[in-house]
Amino acid sequence: MLAAALTALLLAQAQSAPRAVPGDTAGYWQQDVRYTIRAALDEPSGVLAAAGRIVYRNNSPDTLRAFYVHLYLNAFRPGSRWAESERREGVRRFGELPDPYHAFERLGRVSVDGASAAPRYPFAPDSTVAGFDLPRPLAPGDSLVVELEWQSRPSVIPRRQARAGRRFDFAQWYPKVVVYDRLGWQTRPLYMAGEFYGEFATYDVSLDLAADQIVGATGVPVEGDPGWSGARATSSTPVTPQSDWYGSRPAAGALAAWGPAQAGRKRVRFYAEQVHDFALSLNPDYVYEEGRFGPTVLRTLYLPQDRASWGDGLVIGRMGRLLAWMDTIFGAYPWPQFTAVHRIEGGGTEFPMMVMNGGPGEGLIFHEGGHEYLYGILGNNEWKDGWLDEGFTSFQSGWHNQVGRPAAPGRNAQQAILGMDLDGWSQPLSMPAEQYSDFSVYNQMVYSKGALFFEMLRYVVGEDAFRRGLREYYARWKLRHVDEHALRGAMESASGQNLSWFFAQWLHGTPLVDYRLRDVRRERTSEGWRTLITVERLGDGRMPVDIAVPLPDTTLVVRAAGIARREVVEVATAARPGRIELDPARQTMDWNYLNNAEGVRFPFVGMVSLGRVEHRLGWSETTPARRDRRVANWLPLAWSNGAGGVTLGFQSRSNYLGRFDGKTVQFSWPTGLADDAVFGRGGRGRPDVFLSIRNPVRLRAERREIELAAWSLEGRAGGRIGVSADRSPRFGGPVRMSIGSALTVMAVTDARYLDRRRWNDVNTAELTAWAARSREREAGASTARVEVTAGQSFWPEALPSRGWINFPETQWPTGRRLSGATYARGLISSRYALRVREFDVRLRGVAAGTLGGTAVPLQRRIFLGGADPYATFTNPFLRSRGALLARDDVHYGAAGDLGLRGFSPVASATWGVAVNIEAGLRLVDQPRRRAFGTVTVAAFADAALLDRAALGRAAAADAGIGVRATHQIGPTRFVTRLDLPLLVTRPAAAVAGAAGDGAFKFRWVWSFEEAF
Ligand SMILES: [Zn+2]
């Protein structure tokens, strides 16, 4: 039924009639290239020796004076730009690979129009681009002939290309003509990021191979035997070479002209037209299957052990479904065949008419196979417009997954990309690939954000216009080079919208989008209801904003243009609209959904919305992050300690987007049950509270975190304000750096909770500054931390002794008299972990000390056995006297401070310098197992120099053996550790030590964390 009629609708989108379309093909040209190649593979050396002839016609309006080819296999060897970009990323792969193992592509004799020519290498020492000066200028419409001899060899470390025994994946194995387009010669070395851009060409490739080799390749076999008949999966498997697809165009007799093959060898000739690359894969063990999609033959070549995962039509079926899906999006597949081979490397790579995949998965086939259109037929420049290649492809396969399901744009991708946008790591989508700050930023931008670009484009123009636009894009541009203008032209023509703002914003900038539902006013009219919805644009990014207007029997969606800072949308309905919400389908990159829905109306603050909240019950450390709502996790709590007895409570932790509005609220009640009666019968009964808020949305800043906390908890009250900043040099780099500072006040309000061996009845106010750095290494990680604290302590009594800097006794407003002294505390530690096969080695060095003499309260001294009392304060099992894990008979070790694990947790010093070492042997290493993923036996030793007053001796050490195991409950991973510090040099101060103990004694300590 009609519940609504729109009276005044939204402001019209910024529309104007499409101009003389910028993206149509008028004036477009592409060069004409014909390769004729003869190549023979010597398997033992892995070298392909080849001779080729390239006929090149200049269709451009320019006169050319040089000619360039790519020798891409030269990327996979020392000295290349590729190796250099790996080195910058901390990857060691091709930079140091010695000669028999690295790849190469070496030119021999070269002639241009009959005159011998010497190559120039403009990016030397990189040799992936070679140039030749032309003997005569090549005028528009003229042709030239280049004859070349070369040798090429794939590398043993696979990267797209590879060799392994008798298996060969040849990608980019021939001198490939560099694209000349309206921007000139696209000479660009091969880097890790971005790769493909080629001239559409005809390939006539004759191969001389071992007679038993089975070949998968671009094109169709027109002479000789590719080996498929002998490799058929079953005797009924058809073999349809499609040799006659191109009619009589490949003139017969090329193999006959080459002469007969030697004994044990064979010759086979492939031919392809209108493709911009030619790949081949060889393996004498390949098994062959085929199928069909319309006129296209589908082929797969897999390994004998793949039968269950690739065979029996599994992969062929997926290839057929992929081509059917692409056909519905774009149009007919133009080529005779589509081949999927099981290559040496994992992952997958696309080539025209062919994908080389490491596995048979449908997702992989939809991705790599989708490239047949988005790269193969629509020939984009991947290293300049990766979004148009990988982004479009990621969108396409995601879209396929969405079909038949409720609209579910990539919210996880949105969340990940928003994190980068909000932290300033994002870079524009349209950029030369090697200019991204690092490889992981390139990947995130080009694949994930690129896919989101297409989701938003679909949202902006609507699904029908989007589909029409894609078909138009294909009809205009198939088998041509495409770019941003080609896609925009097709989309503008299909939608009737000017989309320059959209393409400019999302391809060339890094906008932040945030719309806020500012106000909603509902008025009764004679016909029903008139609702005025005010939308406010807070971000620099602009997107049309859908507005959901819920009605009793339906939800009306109207759209605001989203351009003005404030925009009023008026809706007339028969019934009273329910709660209004912006962007109900989460189709934009609006980073703050907390202000998108209608909230409570207060007189002076307008509408207050906290957004949607999802409540969960359970373990809180792993509270998930949601794209569009806060998640609050509720956890009942119970613990006990000596003063409060059994304590019951609950905790709520919440966050938005995994980074904002992290709130922790904890209430607990000491019941006095099973206490040690220091409070008398019935315990204390007063509730405790801990509150913390991290990173409120309003205080958002790039790579900065803020925390405010306050507590009144088990005889202590205090507060903390902390700020930290991520100073990592690169987004995905191995080095992480951060700095921070915090002001912490901790006052003792009830000393009966204190373990007086660890904590004086003294209040402190501390200002701490710290810096931390970690580095992931190939087989381990190193971390370092420096921390400096200036503190002021306040005694409730007269100072027990003089400190470093003393303050006069002061009377506080409460009438309490306090004395004060200033102290300082510092700690520097460095840790290194190394994994070599089944061995784990860990090393740690730490130096820590205090200044201020006896004015430093116990709780701020340096603890020998592990963490100091402030570090364990947030843990209710360690916080107070008599807590479960703090009891002397429990032998629990919390990691921290000097880390002398054989020593009592109450032993402390004013300074210490310690070394901890641990060597382990992994007996069990099954990361998938939850209960005991790894089990490691270890030998350890800890040694320290201390102030003489601490233990009466200037040195202390322990040594022993232990066992640790890793576990996982839900997403939480933890360790159980049992150490036996059999040798302790000061036995009286050892864990559970007693006067008269010997240095050797059976002692044990256990923990839920690694020692360091
Ligand atoms: Zn891809």
Rounded to the nearest angstrom, the distance between the alpha carbon of 864 and the centre of ligand 1 is 54
Rounded to the nearest angstrom, the distance between the alpha carbon of 328 and the centre of ligand 1 is 20
911-944: pLDDT as tens digits = 999 999 999 999 999 888 888 999 999 999 999 9
Distance separating alpha carbons of residues 173 and 363, to the nearest angstrom: 28
Rounded to the nearest angstrom, the distance between the alpha carbon of 370 and the centre of ligand 1 is 8
Rounded to the nearest angstrom, the distance between the alpha carbon of 393 and the centre of ligand 1 is 6
How many CB atoms within 10 Å of residue 862? 28
Rounded to the nearest angstrom, the distance between the alpha carbon of 321 and the centre of ligand 1 is 18
Q: Which residue has the higher pLDDT, 738 or 812?
A: 738
Which tokens belong to 908?
């402390």
Rounded to the nearest angstrom, the distance between the alpha carbon of 440 and the centre of ligand 1 is 15
Q: Which pLDDT score, from 0 to 100, does residue 18 have? A: 39
Of the candidates 670, 669, 721, the residue with the CA atom closest to the CA atom of residue 691: 721
Average pLDDT estimate for 145-159: 97
Rounded to the nearest angstrom, the distance between the alpha carbon of 520 and the centre of ligand 1 is 45
Rounded to the nearest angstrom, the distance between the alpha carbon of 322 and the centre of ligand 1 is 15
Rounded to the nearest angstrom, the distance between the alpha carbon of 364 and the centre of ligand 1 is 9
Rounded to the nearest angstrom, the distance between the alpha carbon of 344 and the centre of ligand 1 is 17
Q: Which residues have a Cβ under 8 Å from the Cβ of 760 and sit 6 or more positions away?
A: 754, 857, 858, 859
Rounded to the nearest angstrom, the distance between the alpha carbon of 348 and the centre of ligand 1 is 8
Rounded to the nearest angstrom, the distance between the alpha carbon of 119 and the centre of ligand 1 is 32
Rounded to the nearest angstrom, the distance between the alpha carbon of 743 and the centre of ligand 1 is 49
Rounded to the nearest angstrom, the distance between the alpha carbon of 386 and the centre of ligand 1 is 9
Rounded to the nearest angstrom, the distance between the alpha carbon of 415 and the centre of ligand 1 is 21
Q: Which pLDDT score, from 0 to 100, does residue 19 have? A: 40
Q: Which pLDDT score, from 0 to 100, does residue 603 have? A: 79
Rounded to the nearest angstrom, the distance between the alpha carbon of 404 and the centre of ligand 1 is 24
94-109: pLDDT as tens digits = 999 999 999 999 999 9
3-class state of residue 685 by DSSP: coil
Rounded to the nearest angstrom, the distance between the alpha carbon of 326 and the centre of ligand 1 is 15
Distance separating alpha carbons of residues 206 and 211, to the nearest angstrom: 14
Side-chain half-sphere CA neighbours of 1003 within 13 A = 30
Q: Which pLDDT score, from 0 to 100, does residue 7 have? A: 33
- What strand order describes the sheet that includes 529-537? 4-5, 566-573, 529-537, 515-524
Q: Which pLDDT score, from 0 to 100, does residue 50 have? A: 98
Rounded to the nearest angstrom, the distance between the alpha carbon of 507 and the centre of ligand 1 is 19
Around ion ligand 1, residues with a beta carbon closer than 5 Å are 390
Average pLDDT estimate for 635-650: 93
Q: Which residues have a Cβ under 8 Å from the Cβ of 805 and sit 6 or more positions away?
A: 821, 822, 852
Q: Evaluate if residue 490 carries a pLDDT over 70.
A: yes
Distance separating alpha carbons of residues 730 and 727, to the nearest angstrom: 9
Rounded to the nearest angstrom, the distance between the alpha carbon of 369 and the centre of ligand 1 is 9
Rounded to the nearest angstrom, the distance between the alpha carbon of 366 and the centre of ligand 1 is 10
Rounded to the nearest angstrom, the distance between the alpha carbon of 490 and the centre of ligand 1 is 23
Q: C-alpha angle with apex 995: 994 to 1001, nearest 5 degrees?
A: 55
Q: Which pLDDT score, from 0 to 100, does residue 10 have? A: 30
267-315: pLDDT as tens digits = 999 999 999 999 999 999 999 999 999 999 999 999 999 999 999 999 9
Average pLDDT estimate for 98-126: 96
Which tokens belong to 70?
């790519």
Q: Which residue has the higher pLDDT, 715 or 812?
A: 715
Rounded to the nearest angstrom, the distance between the alpha carbon of 283 and the centre of ligand 1 is 24
Distance separating alpha carbons of residues 571 and 407, to the nearest angstrom: 25
Mark residue 377 as left, alpha or beta (left: phi above 0; alpha: psi -120 to 50; beta: remaining). Answer: alpha
Distance separating alpha carbons of residues 338 and 296, to the nearest angstrom: 7
Lowest mean pLDDT among 79-88, 173-182, 292-301, 807-816: 807-816
Mean pLDDT of the chain: 92
Rounded to the nearest angstrom, the distance between the alpha carbon of 658 and the centre of ligand 1 is 29
Rounded to the nearest angstrom, the distance between the alpha carbon of 351 and the centre of ligand 1 is 11
Rounded to the nearest angstrom, the distance between the alpha carbon of 352 and the centre of ligand 1 is 13
Rounded to the nearest angstrom, the distance between the alpha carbon of 392 and the centre of ligand 1 is 9
Rounded to the nearest angstrom, the distance between the alpha carbon of 84 and the centre of ligand 1 is 23
**Percent of the chain topping pLDDT 90:** 81
Rounded to the nearest angstrom, the distance between the alpha carbon of 442 and the centre of ligand 1 is 13
673-698: pLDDT as tens digits = 888 877 765 556 689 999 999 999 99
Residue 904 phi, psi (nearest 5): -65, 145
Rounded to the nearest angstrom, the distance between the alpha carbon of 355 and the centre of ligand 1 is 11
Rounded to the nearest angstrom, the distance between the alpha carbon of 654 and the centre of ligand 1 is 37
Rounded to the nearest angstrom, the distance between the alpha carbon of 389 and the centre of ligand 1 is 7
3-class state of residue 364 by DSSP: helix
Rounded to the nearest angstrom, the distance between the alpha carbon of 302 and the centre of ligand 1 is 21
Q: Which residue has the higher pLDDT, 607 or 346?
A: 346
- pTM, full prediction: 0.90
Q: Which residue has the higher pLDDT, 514 or 855?
A: 514
Q: Which pLDDT score, from 0 to 100, does residue 17 have? A: 39
Rounded to the nearest angstrom, the distance between the alpha carbon of 965 and the centre of ligand 1 is 39
Rounded to the nearest angstrom, the distance between the alpha carbon of 382 and the centre of ligand 1 is 10
Average pLDDT estimate for 700-711: 96
Q: Which residues have a Cβ under 8 Å from the Cβ of 244 and sit 6 or more positions away?
A: none
User: In what helix (H) or strand (E) does residue 982 lie, and over which residues does it extend?
Assistant: strand 972-984
- How many angstroms separate the Cα of 178 from the Cα of each of 316, 920, 981? 34, 54, 68
How many CB atoms within 10 Å of residue 413? 21
Rounded to the nearest angstrom, the distance between the alpha carbon of 371 and the centre of ligand 1 is 7
Q: Which pLDDT score, from 0 to 100, does residue 684 have? A: 64
Rounded to the nearest angstrom, the distance between the alpha carbon of 416 and the centre of ligand 1 is 19
DSSP string for 419-431? HHHHTT----SSS
Rounded to the nearest angstrom, the distance between the alpha carbon of 702 and the centre of ligand 1 is 30
Rounded to the nearest angstrom, the distance between the alpha carbon of 333 and the centre of ligand 1 is 18
Are 190 and 148 contacting, i.e. CB atoms less than 8 angstroms apart?
Answer: no
DSSP string for 881-910? TT-TTTSTTT-B----TT--TTB-TT-EES
452-469: pLDDT as tens digits = 999 999 999 999 999 999
Rounded to the nearest angstrom, the distance between the alpha carbon of 218 and the centre of ligand 1 is 18
Q: Which pLDDT score, from 0 to 100, does residue 21 have? A: 41
Rounded to the nearest angstrom, the distance between the alpha carbon of 182 and the centre of ligand 1 is 26
Rounded to the nearest angstrom, the distance between the alpha carbon of 920 and the centre of ligand 1 is 41
Residue 301 phi, psi (nearest 5): -125, 115
Average pLDDT estimate for 67-87: 95
Rounded to the nearest angstrom, the distance between the alpha carbon of 214 and the centre of ligand 1 is 26
Q: Which residue has the higher pLDDT, 608 or 772?
A: 772
Are 910 and 922 contacting, i.e. CB atoms less than 8 angstroms apart?
Answer: no
Are 589 and 542 contacting, i.e. CB atoms less than 8 angstroms apart?
Answer: no
Average pLDDT estimate for 129-150: 97
Rounded to the nearest angstrom, the distance between the alpha carbon of 380 and the centre of ligand 1 is 12
Rounded to the nearest angstrom, the distance between the alpha carbon of 28 and the centre of ligand 1 is 26
- Give 6's pLDDT tier (boundaries 50, 70, 90): very low
Average pLDDT estimate for 587-595: 94
- Give 611's pLDDT tier (boundaries 50, 70, 90): confident
Q: C-alpha angle with apex 410: 409 to 413, nearest 5 degrees?
A: 155
Return the DSSP state at 597.
B
Mark residue 590 as left, alpha or beta (left: phi above 0; alpha: psi -120 to 50; beta: remaining). Answer: beta
Of the candidates 776, 694, 788, 777, the residue with the CA atom closest to the CA atom of residue 739: 788
Rounded to the nearest angstrom, the distance between the alpha carbon of 763 and the centre of ligand 1 is 60
Q: Evaluate if residue 839 carries a pLDDT over 80.
A: yes
Rounded to the nearest angstrom, the distance between the alpha carbon of 446 and the centre of ligand 1 is 10
Rounded to the nearest angstrom, the distance between the alpha carbon of 350 and the centre of ligand 1 is 7
Rounded to the nearest angstrom, the distance between the alpha carbon of 349 and the centre of ligand 1 is 7
Q: Dihedral of CA 977/664/669/905: which sign?
A: positive
Rounded to the nearest angstrom, the distance between the alpha carbon of 646 and the centre of ligand 1 is 58
Q: Evaluate if residue 251 carries a pLDDT over 60.
A: yes
Q: Which pLDDT score, from 0 to 100, does residue 619 have? A: 75
Rounded to the nearest angstrom, the distance between the alpha carbon of 379 and the centre of ligand 1 is 14
Rounded to the nearest angstrom, the distance between the alpha carbon of 428 and the centre of ligand 1 is 19
Q: Which residues have a Cβ under 8 Å from the Cβ of 468 and sit 6 or more positions away?
A: 494, 495
Q: Evaluate if residue 20 carries a pLDDT over 50.
A: no
Helix/strand/coil percentages in the chain, nearest 5: 15, 40, 40
361-417: pLDDT as tens digits = 999 999 999 999 999 999 999 999 999 999 999 999 999 988 766 555 567 889 999
Rounded to the nearest angstrom, the distance between the alpha carbon of 216 and the centre of ligand 1 is 20
Side-chain half-sphere CA neighbours of 794 within 13 A = 17
Rounded to the nearest angstrom, the distance between the alpha carbon of 343 and the centre of ligand 1 is 16
3-class state of residue 309 by DSSP: helix
- Give 954's pLDDT tier (boundaries 50, 70, 90): confident
Rounded to the nearest angstrom, the distance between the alpha carbon of 390 and the centre of ligand 1 is 5
Could you check whether the bond before residue 125 is cis, i.e. omega within 30 degrees of 0? Answer: yes
Rounded to the nearest angstrom, the distance between the alpha carbon of 445 and the centre of ligand 1 is 13
772-830: pLDDT as tens digits = 999 998 789 999 999 999 999 887 655 455 555 565 666 656 666 667 788 999 999 99
Rounded to the nearest angstrom, the distance between the alpha carbon of 330 and the centre of ligand 1 is 18
**Percent of the chain topping pLDDT 70:** 94
- Give 13's pLDDT tier (boundaries 50, 70, 90): very low
Q: Which residue has the higher pLDDT, 861 or 404?
A: 861
Rounded to the nearest angstrom, the distance between the alpha carbon of 391 and the centre of ligand 1 is 8
Rounded to the nearest angstrom, the distance between the alpha carbon of 713 and the centre of ligand 1 is 54
Q: Which pLDDT score, from 0 to 100, does residue 629 have? A: 92
Lowest mean pLDDT among 248-252, 446-450, 451-455, 781-785: 248-252
